[in-house]
Structure 1
Amino acid sequence: MHDLDHIVKDIAAEMAERPDRGTVATYIPELANVDAGQFGIAIVDNDGRVFTGGDADTPFSIQSISKVFTLTLALGMAGDRLWRRVGREPSGSPFNSVVQLEFEKGIPRNPFINAGAIAVTDLILSGHQPREALGEILRFVRFLADDPSIAIDEKVAASEQRTGFRNAALANYMKSFGVIENPVDLALGVYFHQCAIAMSCRQLATAARFLAHNGRNPKTGLSVVNAERARRINAIMLTCGHYDGSGEFAYRVGLPGKSGVGGGILAIAPGRASIAVWSPGLDQNGNSHLGRIALEALTKRLGWSIFGA
């Protein structure tokens, strides 16, 4: 076993020194206020030990990383029926692209682009009031992280609701094809709030333990999903988790991962650990610039790439 604590602290120190920090997301006004000088990393290994570096306990807006948890929840509710509404293929387009949706008659390419995630949220909303659906998502994340303090940043949610015109266009377009079943404003309201969940690297890495251990929480032994479903969620994270930067992430890091425009990345080393990194500055694809560099350094030093050391 490598000295994981030493490696994590080393990487955090290296990232703190780097001048190239990417650019914070500005299209959600509240995210534009976040200090780009921050960097955090947390790893939870199979024995439940937590290794942290930098700003690992600073909460940030998880944004699209929430889509991993809503996908897990929706699959638990609908099983493979979910795939009638949303595909499983990489998009090769920006996360908020309208063009592809038009070409493919309202069926989103995968559950991690915005259109696909809105369709997944709509499924969770069916038969519930928005408050109940949101409560269910939040309860699930708190349960996974074993932390009842996790909450929604209402300022970020309000900021997204004021400026989410592209998402509204995607949702209305899908509604016209019957892919969205609930009123568009209700589905969008839940979606914006789910993206505004705030978590630290430590909480995020803890919440994702089940994906590194065949669907089970290694601490309690309780099954969250079966092994096959965990494997499939990881597969979609590998191929679609970084939008049109997914190939580059697989090439450089070699782990299933999911990014968010808040600057977080969740990565899974199957059988080994769950990892969360956070640095608010983004690259041109909307993925954390330093987050990806840190994960590449980590997998190289540890030989954790799923494609071999």
Structure 2
Amino acid sequence: MDWTVKQGFEIEPFLQQLVGEARALPVSGKVADYIPALAQVNPDKVGLALATVEGKLYSAGDSTTEFSIQSLSKILGLVMAMNRIGDSLWQRVHMEPSGLPFNSIVQLEYEHGIPRNPFINAGAILIADVLASHYSASRQAFISFIRKLAGSDQIFVDEDVLQSEKQHGSRNAAMAYLMKSFGNVEGDVDRVLDHYFYQCSVNMTCEQLASSLTFLANRGLQPVTQRVICSRRDAHRVNAILSTSGMYDQSGEFAFTVGLPAKSGVGGGIVAIVPGYGVICAWSPRLNHFGNSCLGMHMITGLAEQLGLSVY
């Protein structure tokens, strides 16, 4: 459906309005500082982009500025793992909300090394193990996958962020070794963590992220290239887990107020999938206490309300 026609107004000026409103709000939240390289990011950046399944791209603000995608990478890793090993994946990682912080170790111990879902850190590390175990060069496979989706060879890892991730990744290492002790991590832990830190350190723009993920709004088919990225069933599954677990401990509230499958990252990015319509990507580095972008939440909420985009 062409929502621009249905609503009778142009989207891009409205995106510019949302960015302006966001910039005018009182300052709240703070930039992630537990990864020192992220603490150096300009906290006042604000970007917004919308890519539709019809191949249209709208954007405003700092939408072409690169930022660290962090946990947004978990969506792409999950799709690769689902494509690679199929339903056997769900014997090693579940699809339930955790109810605990994204980097919690407690639940992992109670549940014998099986992460609650692929979007908490333990789950994403498990996915990294799948990729590292099934690709001879998993890091290259991952970046190649992203570049093809974005239609750009100019997507790279931020080496400063990568080194920060490695130097301050003890908690992630603890989770990986705990899962290894239960037999749920098959590969070498150092190699698994190397892949995990690498994918979190990729830099992308709002426009690139929105365009790259349109296949999830289009039943697994990338609209522009008509390539099948994943099956219709797997697109449904990814969106379902995003709805329940993609926004950390704020996932229920986000579903309640916005009503879209979404994923956030501590780099300040948020992507929201609108099945049958497109993908929204917002970015602003200051985070609330859940780890979600304050202004990103504001902009996506405003856009979803204006266009009536809730899937519920």
- Please tell me the TM-score bracket, short chain as reference: over 0.9
Deviation at 1:48, TM superposition (A): 1.0
Deviation at 1:92, TM superposition (A): 0.8
Instruction: Work out whether 1:281 is the aligned partner of 2:293.
Output: no
Task: Give the counterpart of 1:94 among 101, 120, 145.
Answer: 101
Query: C-alpha distance in 2, partners of 1:180/1:68?
Result: 19
Is the contact made by 1:242 and 1:257 (CA closer than 8 Å) also made in structure 2?
yes
Task: Give the counterpart of 2:258 among 246, 250, 253.
Answer: 253
Is the contact made by 2:84 and 2:134 (CA closer than 8 Å) also made in structure 1?
no
Deviation at 1:21, TM superposition (A): 3.5
Partner residue of 1:139?
A: 144
- How many residues align? The count is 305
Is the contact made by 2:135 and 2:141 (CA closer than 8 Å) also made in structure 1?
no
Is the contact made by 1:268 and 1:275 (CA closer than 8 Å) also made in structure 2?
yes
Q: 1:178-197 maps to which residues of 2 (within 5 A)? A: 178-197=183-202
Deviations 1:180-238 (A, max 9, x none): 11111110011001000000000000100100111111112221111111111111111
Letter in 2 for 1:37: D
Partner residue of 1:80?
A: 87
Task: Give the counterpart of 1:156 among 161, 182, 185.
Answer: 161
Task: Give the counterpart of 1:269 among 264, 270, 274.
Answer: 274
Query: C-alpha distance in 1, partners of 2:70/2:226?
Result: 29
TM-score of the superposed pair, with normalisation by structure 1: 0.97
Query: C-alpha distance in 1, partners of 2:230/2:34?
Result: 35
Task: Give the counterpart of 1:114 among 116, 121, 125.
Answer: 121
Runs of 4+ in 1 over 6 A off after TM superposition: none
Partner residue of 1:202?
A: 207
TM-score of the superposed pair, with normalisation by structure 2: 0.96
Partner secondary structure for residue 245 of structure 1 = helix
Task: Give the counterpart of 2:231 among 226, 233, 236.
Answer: 226
Describe the shift of the 1:4–1:55 C-alpha distance in structure 2 as closer, same or farther (beyond 3 A).
same
Is the contact made by 1:22 and 1:290 (CA closer than 8 Å) also made in structure 2?
no
Instruction: Work out whether 1:242 is the aligned partner of 2:250.
Output: no
Note the residue ranges of structure 2 that are not aligned, 5 or more in a row: none
Query: C-alpha distance in 2, partners of 1:233/1:143?
Result: 20
Is the contact made by 1:41 and 1:56 (CA closer than 8 Å) also made in structure 2?
yes
Letter in 2 for 1:194: Q
Query: C-alpha distance in 2, partners of 1:16/1:246?
Result: 24
Task: Give the counterpart of 1:105 among 112, 116, 125.
Answer: 112
Is the contact made by 1:58 and 1:201 (CA closer than 8 Å) also made in structure 2?
yes
Query: C-alpha distance in 2, partners of 1:276/1:127?
Result: 30
Note the residue ranges of structure 1 that are not aligned, 5 or more in a row: none
Task: Give the counterpart of 2:63 among 31, 56, 60.
Answer: 56
Letter in 2 for 1:220: T
Partner residue of 2:42?
A: 35
Deviation at 1:20, TM superposition (A): 2.7
Partner residue of 1:18?
A: 25
Percent sequence identity is 47
